[in-house]
Amino acid sequence: MSTMTTTHRTTRTRFISKDTRQAILMWLLFLPLGFIIIIPLLYMFSMAFTTEANQFVLPIRWIPIPPTLQNFNKIFADPLLPLGRWFFNSLLVASVGTIIILIVSSLSGYAFARLEFPGKNFLFSLLLFSLMIPAAITLIPAFLLLRSLGMLDTYHAIWWPAAASVTGIFLLRQHFYAVPRELEDAARVDGANRFRIYWQVCLPLVRGALVALSIFTFLGLWNDLFWPLIVLNKQANLTLPIGLVVLQQGSYIQRGLAFAGAFVASVPVLIFYVIFQRQIIAGITTTGMAGQ
Amino acid sequence: MATSTAATASQRSSSTAKNRRWKTLKNQLPNYLFILPHFFLFSVFLLYPIFRGLQISLYDWKIMLTDQRWLGLANYQALMNDAVFWQVLRNTFWFMILTVIINVTLALIVAAGLKHRFTGSDFFRVLFYAPGILSVSVLGIIAIRVWEPQLGIINYYFVNVMGFPRVNWVSDPTLIIPVLSLTTVWWTFGFPMLVFIAGLHGIPEQLYEAAKIDGAGVLSAFRHITIPLIMPTMLFVVVTQFIAHMQVFAQPYIITGGGPGNASRSVVQYLYETAWKYFRYGYASAISVVLALIMIVVTIILFSLMRRRAEY
């Protein structure tokens, strides 16, 4: 049988190996889809560097000649469109939020994986129950609550509701299960208390899951439009996604500005994506997590 | 004598058991500190709002009032007679069905190709997921210019290059939902694709070898091996896609504003406008409760349907 297939293969692939032929076939199949994916991105990049006057020129000039920074100068200088400020706000919202979520979910995930306490199963089933309820129903009560707490138009209104999320707990709980109990026992014999065991023994061993969770949390907070749109109001407090909507609403007059804003918002995450692509893709395929 | 010793012994053992239980409880009490931070936030911002939302939907809730006017089920009655609500519900269902079907089909086909390693397979994986990294606001800015009837990329190639008649993508009420759906597919199909690749790697390669020996073609193997064995992954993908796209908001909000007319307004967009543009919190809560009920019921139906198929 094996000799038969080898002879068969050699006769059919005298010039190119089977792998190469398969690769060529796949490239032919996927290249059109690749173009559809990449062309809108390239369009955004080139329009960000195209002068306002040339935004509407047909045929489309894919390489702006000469490239201009006028759009960027305008959005960074205009006091009504404080893009630099919004960028900084988004950075603050996403980084502090990620740290809070990481601390809160790892503590709870550890407890549900490794510690015993009365009512544990009941409390865990409450977390499961909340997964079945669509987020839409919590929007108005959470907003009214934040309003009476005086937290509207501050980032507390984004951080603390985000930290109530249960997905991080499920992810980390799975990984804490995989930590060998002997390590904890050894630490206990050495006189470590339960908090030190969590912090110094278990947490370093789930580093991979923590990295995945922080990447997805950061991206989710950086990109989110809906909840910040509800709780933030003052122009100076907005995050980039809302700022882009503000830019876009004036864009029938100034297209280049919207594209320059989109460029500023997406280039950092695209660089981040290229650097961490392995972790991001592994994170999705192993945990089914994504910032949707 | 013997009985009395037995009695005291059992008494003592029960008291030591109680003692021991008390001791373990005392030992376990600090464990609550670990879940306390999350559980506090969870109760305040998730658990309480779920029930509070049900309650608010029974009032004519106004933000400035201290005493809210009780309405009973009047909000729900009004909702049932609200033609706009029925339209946004239809729009959302149509958008969700189109997006889920195209996303799942495209993702599965692409995953079936990309599960093999070849020169450049990693490149395509990274490229196809890339749009999903972008904010929906960036998606909106790009999409407006891509679909624009006069100067957009699509009509440029369709009309100016290939000579088709000009189509008004965004102002035709029958086309706008498919347009938003295709835009969303561009943005999101990478996620189900990656999940499917992982799922396909779980199918033993021997099954395909055996099918090949039995003379089954590629399509037949796909139909009889891939489809049945991918069902558990399919269930996960369809349910998460359904939940995500049923709550679509930003694509119509940014790209069309809900228009033309109400042709692309979604349920969540209607909810948002009812609450934060017209300040009718009670009515908006009723919308959210109805949406939540529909989603829970459909999720349960999906689970039972697909589990039955997965068992075969």
* Model pLDDT for residues B27-76, shown as the tens digit of each residue: 888 899 999 999 999 999 999 999 999 999 998 887 777 777 788 888 99
**Per-residue pLDDT, A84:** 87
Mean pLDDT of A210-232: 93
Cross-chain Cβ contact A269/B142 below 8 Å? no
Confidence of residue A78 (pLDDT cuts 50, 70, 90): confident
Nearest-by-CA chain B residue for A226:
B250
- Residue A71 confidence class, pLDDT cut points 50, 70, 90: confident
Q: Identify the pLDDT of residue A5.
A: 45
Contact partners, residue A266, CB within 8 Å, separation at least 6: A44, B133, B134, B135, B138
Residue B1: pLDDT over 50: no
Please state, rounded to an integer, the average pLDDT across all residues of chain A.
Answer: 86
Residue A57 pLDDT exceeds 80: no
Q: Say which amino acid occupies B90.
A: R
Q: Would the CB atoms of B39 and A115 count as touching at under 8 Å? A: no
Q: Residue A139 and residue B254: Cβ atoms within 8 Å?
A: no
Residue B162 has pLDDT above 90, yes or no: no
pLDDT higher than threshold 80 for residue A64: no
Taking CA atoms, what residue in B is nearest to A22? B118
Question: Best of B27, B32, B124, B138 to disrupt the A interface by mutation (most A CBs within 10 Å)?
Answer: B138
Instruction: Measure CA of the first residue to CA of the last residue in chain A; give whole Å.
Output: 49
Q: Do A161 and B142 touch (CB under 8 A)?
A: no
Q: pLDDT tens across A90-110, in order?
A: 999 999 999 999 999 999 999
Count Cα atoms within 13 angstroms, Cβ side, for B109: 10
Q: B235-289, pLDDT tens digit by residue? A: 889 999 999 999 999 999 999 998 899 999 999 999 999 999 999 999 999 999 9
- Option in A160, A269, A292 nearest B134 (CB): A269
Taking CA atoms, what residue in A is nearest to B157? A59
Chain B contacts in chain A segment 201-240 (CB below 8 A): 219, 222-226, 230, 240
Output the pLDDT for position A1: 39
C-alpha distance from residue A177 to each of A11, A46, A162, A184, A289 (Å):
53, 49, 25, 12, 19
Compute the half-sphere exposure of residue B236: CA atoms within 13 Å on the CB side of its CA.
17
Closest CA to B63 of B270, B271, B275: B275
Q: Residue A4: what pLDDT?
A: 45
Percent of chain A with pLDDT over 70: 91
- Contact yes or no for B49 and A141 at CB 8 A: yes
Q: What is the percentage of chain A residues whose pLDDT exceeds 90?
A: 50
Ranked by mean pLDDT, the top range of A178-192, B152-166, B205-219, B265-279 is B265-279
Distance from CA of B32 to the nearest CA of A (A): 7
State the average pLDDT over residues B154-158. Answer: 87
pLDDT at A58 over 80: no
Q: Which of A161, A259, A291 sits opposite B45 (nearest CB)?
A: A161
Q: Do B92 and B246 touch, CB atoms closer than 8 A?
A: yes
- The partner residue sitting opposite B46, judged by closest CB among A22, A23, A138, is A138
Name the band, by pLDDT with cuts 50, 70 and 90, for residue A2: very low
The pLDDT mean for chain B works out to 88
Q: Which member of B114, B136, B146 has the closest CB to residue A223? A: B136
Partner-chain contact A226 B249, CB within 8 Å: yes
Distances (CA, A) of A136 to A103, A232, B172, B291: 26, 18, 29, 8
Summarised one tens digit per residue, pLDDT across range A11-23 is 454 567 877 888 8
Q: Residue A288: pLDDT band by 50, 70, 90 thresholds?
A: low
**pLDDT confidence of residue A14:** 55
Average pLDDT over residues B191-220: 88
Query: Are the Cβ atoms of B45 and A142 closer than 8 angstroms?
Result: yes
Min Cα separation B157/chain A (Å):
9
Residue of B nearest to A26 (CA): B113
Confidence of residue A54 (pLDDT cuts 50, 70, 90): confident
Predicted confidence at residue B5, as pLDDT, reads: 53
Q: Which residues in chain B have their CB less than 8 angstroms from residue A118's CB? A: 25, 28
Percent of chain B having pLDDT more than 90?
56
Give the model's pLDDT for residue A6. Answer: 46
Number of CB atoms found within 10 A of residue A123's CB: 17
Question: Which of B137, B186, B240 is the best substitution to test chain A (most A C-beta atoms within 10 A)?
Answer: B137
Phi/psi region, residue A116 (left: phi>0; alpha: psi -120 to 50; beta: rest), is beta
* Chain-chain contact of A273 with B133 (C-beta, under 8 angstroms): yes
Pick among A47, A56, A137 to test the B interface (most B CBs inside 10 A) = A137
Whether A138 sits inside 8 A of B127 (CB atoms) is no
According to the model, what pLDDT value does residue B312 have?
47
Q: Looking at the partner chain, which of A38, A105, A265 has a beta carbon nearest the beta carbon of B127?
A: A38
Q: Evaluate if residue A139 carries a pLDDT over 90.
A: yes
Tell me whether residues B296 and A134 touch, CB distance under 8 A.
yes
| pLDDT band at residue A246 under the 50/70/90 scheme | confident
- On the question of pLDDT at B8 being above 70, the answer is no
Does A44 contact chain B (CB < 8 Å)? yes
Q: Which residue has the higher pLDDT, B309 or B158?
A: B158
pLDDT at residue A252, rounded to an integer: 53
Residue A7, pLDDT above cutoff 50: no
Return d(Cα B146, Cα B153) in angstroms, integer. 5
pLDDT, greater one: A189 or B67: A189
Residue A161 in this model has a pLDDT that exceeds 80: yes
What is the model's pLDDT at position B6?
A: 53
State residue B13's pLDDT score: 63
Of A120, A140, A153, A254, which to mutate for an interface test with B (greatest number of B Cβ within 10 Å)? A140
What is the reported pLDDT for A266? 92
Distance CA B55, CA B49 (A): 9
Which residues 6+ apart lie within 8 Å of A96 measured at CB?
A155, A159
For range B174-186, the mean pLDDT: 96
Q: Given this model, what pLDDT does residue B32 score?
A: 93
pLDDT of res. B14: 66
Q: What pLDDT score was predicted for residue B309?
A: 65
pLDDT band at B192 (very low <50, low <70, confident <90, very high): very high
* Per-residue H/E/C for chain A: CHHHHHHHHHHHCCCCCHHHHHHHHHHHHHHHHHHHHHHHHHHHHHHHCCCHHHCCCCCCCCCCCCCCCHHHHHHHHCCCCCHHHHHHHHHHHHHHHHHHHHHHHHHHHHHHHHCCCCCHHHHHHHHHHHHHCCHHHHHHHHHHHHHHCCCCCCCHHHHHHHHCCCHHHHHHHHHHHCCCHHHHHHHHHCCCCHHHHHHHHHHHHCHHHHHHHHHHHHHHHHHCCHHHHHHCCCHHHCCHHHHHHHHHHCCCCCHHHHHHHHHHHHHHHHHHHHHCHHHHHHHHHHHCCCCC
- Closest chain A residue to B282, measured at CA: A140
CB nearest to B137's CB, from A56, A132, A244 = A244
What is the per-residue pLDDT for B27?
85
pLDDT band at A74 (very low <50, low <70, confident <90, very high): confident
- The yes-or-no verdict on residue A111 having pLDDT over 80 is yes
Residues of A in contact with B54 (CB under 8 A): 137
Q: Does the distance separating the beta carbons of A112 and B291 come in below 8 Å?
A: no
Which of these, A22, A33, A23, lies nearest to B110 by C-alpha position?
A: A33
- The minimum CA-CA distance between B84 and chain A, rounded to whole Å, is 18
pLDDT at B9: 56
Question: pTM for this structure?
Answer: 0.89
How confident is the model over B213-223, as a mean pLDDT? 86
Per-residue pLDDT at B66? 73
Of B47, B243, B276, the CB nearest to A130: B47
Task: Give the chain B residue whose CA is nearest to the CA of A115.
Answer: B31
Measure in Å the smallest separation between the Cα of A283 and chain B Cα atoms: 10
Residues above pLDDT 70, as percent of chain B: 94
Residue B4: which pLDDT band, with cuts at 50, 70 and 90?
Answer: low
